[in-house]
């Protein structure tokens, strides 16, 4: 079964952080490629755990996924942008 997701990647110090949207699963590595491999493993473990608990469909539906003949498709990412906010004094 295929489950698609969108990945964000950024650097924090000497490590790269990979984040799977909209599953909200993250991992890291010393290079972008290793962070991506670690993220794939983390996503697989997350989904296997949900499946074993009998909650996989619920988890995916709550994250906005739809099921089709080829597996689960993530919701379409409409826009990615940086924002900022002011903290109260």
* Continuous H helices in 8-84: 32-52, 56-62
The pTM assigned to this predicted structure is 0.85
Distance between CA atoms of residues 14 and 38, nearest Å: 16
The string of pLDDT tens digits covering residues 38-74 is 999 999 999 999 999 999 999 999 999 999 888 899 9
Alpha carbon distances (Å) from 45 to 11, 29, 39, 76, 85: 23, 17, 10, 23, 34
Distance between CA atoms of residues 87 and 20, nearest Å: 27
**DSSP three-state, residue 83:** coil
Task: Give the domain ranges of the chain.
Answer: 2-73
């Amino acid at each position: 079964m295929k489950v698609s997701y969108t990945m964000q990647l950024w650097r924090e110090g000497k490590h790269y952080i990979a984040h799977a949207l909209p599953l909200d699963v993250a991992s890291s590595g010393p290079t972008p490629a290793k962070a991506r491999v670690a993220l794939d493993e983390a996503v697989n473990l997350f989904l296997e755990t949900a499946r074993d608990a009998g909650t996989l469909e619920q988890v995916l539906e709550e994250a906005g996924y739809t099921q089709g003949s080829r597996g689960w498709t993530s919701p379409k990412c409409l826009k990615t942008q940086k924002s900022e906010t002011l903290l109260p004094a």
